[in-house]
Amino acid sequence: MPAATTFTSFGQPNEVVELTNISKPDLKPGELRLKMRYAPINPADINYIQGIYGIKPDLPAVPGLEGCGEVIESQSERFQSGDLVITLKPVGTWAEQVICPADYVLKIPADTPLEQASMLKVNPLTAWCMLTQFIDLPKGSWIIQNAANSGVGTCVIQIAKLLGLRTINLVRREELIKPLSDLGANHVLLDDASALDQIRSLTDDSPPALALNAVGGDSALRLMDIIATKGIHVTYGAMSRRSLKVPNKFLIFKRIQLHGFWVTEWIKENEPSLVANTYQQLAHWITEGKLAQPIDSTYPLAEITTALNRAMEDQRDGKVLLHCSSG
């Protein structure tokens, strides 16, 4: 029987997730059997297991909100054995095999690098949406973001460059500045009060009209302070676990617009053709070597506890991946 990670109660992932064997039932019409190849451990997965994410599963459950797999059996006319797919809906990707409805996955080009394909669903699409779906920015425009070294942040830097936009990137540690500059960031600054004057000097009379916030607290306030009048401030994360407290002056005098973004809802709310075409473009950039997310380490499913411990450490050099099954 194929192996899968499971949890029977909500709690700290490294305490409640274990490796078990699962049954291998026959497929129903319209279903696929996938051999999962790689799956990342995202902050959303940690929250999912803790029971505090926007989606709460029935227990017992298999974690893993994204990943890539190969179709090994199909009861759908749209897929055949050998197709490379990414999951669009929660199917529990931290497993050797997954059975799911065909409309839960999306076929991507077969030559897409597997490790990067496993991380395609969330971070690249989040970055692309925030850069294109809230405001039409002319080429050469500035955008600003915090948590620039995060998975989304590194995608923002690369996609913005492909779209002809310039980025100002805030980080917490000085050693992060050079790697992001090498990635294509226009400017990388420490995320503290001293950054404000530097940013004003860099942008002259063209302050950023778009700010992307994954932190909250004082960092989010700095973004509000620096963006242009009627600028758009998009929150997609809360790494500091501190709420947004918006001074009245930013709403009254600057008339900034506050938005939230959750990629899961964007996928649900938009036409399947738009979603599919966007993913094909992102996969094309990945295959061309123009878009990539850093990988810290890779572990087999059997080392799930070690992998979770690493994923929950503060300072890493990229994403922790699970190698679910070999080719």
Q: Which residues are catalytic?
A: 53
Closest CA to 223 of 166, 161, 170: 170
Euclidean distance between CA atoms 308 and 12, whole angstroms: 10
As given in the structure block, the two tokens for residue 120 are: 């395609």
DSSP string, 250-280: HHHTS--EEEE--HHHHHHHS-HHHHHHHHH
Instruction: Tell me the chain's radius of gyration from C-alpha atoms.
Output: 20
* Beta strand extents in 108-164 (DSSP E only): 142-145
Helix (H) or strand (E) holding 74: strand 68-74
Which are the contacts of 124, defined by CB distance < 8 A and separation ≥ 6?
A: 155, 159, 282, 286, 291, 293
As given in the structure block, the two tokens for residue 215 are: 């932190």
Euclidean distance between CA atoms 8 and 62, whole angstroms: 9
Euclidean distance between CA atoms 214 and 240, whole angstroms: 8
